[in-house]
Structure 1
Amino acid sequence: MKDLMRMRSSVKEAVELVLNQQIQMEMVSSSKYLAMAGWCDRNGFDYSAGFFYNQSEEERKHAMKLFHYLTDQGGTAFSPEVPAVGQEFDSLRSVYEGALEQEISVTDSINRIVAVCRRESDFATEELMRWFVKEQVEEEYIARRALELFDQFPADQIYKLDKALSQITYDGNPFEDGE
């Protein structure tokens, strides 16, 4: 029976490759968010620090979701190398701009995975990726709304802005019918 279980992964090779790349991307995102949280902490932006600590943990959970999926399907998931990330930022705004850039990159990567799944007729993995597609809609929304707040607060109210940033939530779900 063990030989039968080892014989064939239900995940196609091309899909396994892009999922392992996504695991690495999620872990790099986690590291970047941890660096952002540390910068915010060092500069007195307590609310933003908390937000980015949570983001860091969330990205790690995303990586683990993919890692477990691969191993559960008989594929091989690799523990990724995570390169060093920058620890310094020019301003609180630049931290949030970096977050949006990171989320856009993740969205592009998720979309590529869905395309590979379709090309390879890997419907199970495509179904898993639907969750990630929805997650990215929320992540990009929050990052964009955060950046919009920077234009609504005078420079001398940066700590009020920090608190306001922590209160952004995603209320909509464009994937629901509304019923």
Structure 2
Amino acid sequence: MQQTKKVAVIMGSDSDLPVVSAAVKQLKEFGIPVEAHVMSAHRTPAQAMAFASNAKDNGFGVIIAAAGKAAHLAGVLAAHTTLPVIGIPIKSSTLDGLDALLATVQMPSGIPVATVAIDGAKNAAILAAQILALSDEGVAEKLTAMKKDMTEGVLKKDAALEGKLAAL
């Protein structure tokens, strides 16, 4: 039986943990091994480069990078690996995360970074799971179950709404 590849969750600062914790939690719910680290594109560029360069050999299948303000972390990691990198722009007090969004999404040709919404950690984890599910049937089954649960939840809300409207 194949072992599920790990997902790395790299945050530019420990202050990103309240947002990033949603990704870690979601990955754990899928049974995906996850490691989280603090690395800075600007303050620890050598460590970020070394991590990304060795990530595939170290059993990772996807890297999630969360950073705010001048959010270059995802791009730095993507420049040093062939693994998929998913960027989470983190909202800051300066420009409400727009600066991080633009820095994460505007990558040069050849260095793609998949980017989720500002503070979109849960979606980053789901996207990472979808990438791993291409070659991991266990993860694929968990995603299918999650989608089924979401559908059932919306259908229950719809039925409840119909009941409320009928009572008007």
After TM superposition, the score normalised by the length of structure 2 is 0.35
After TM superposition, the score normalised by the length of structure 1 is 0.33
Q: Which structure has more strand as a fraction of its residues?
A: 2
Larger Rg: 1
Q: Which structure has more helix as a fraction of its residues?
A: 1
**Relative contact order (C-alpha < 8 Å, sep 6+): which is higher?**
1
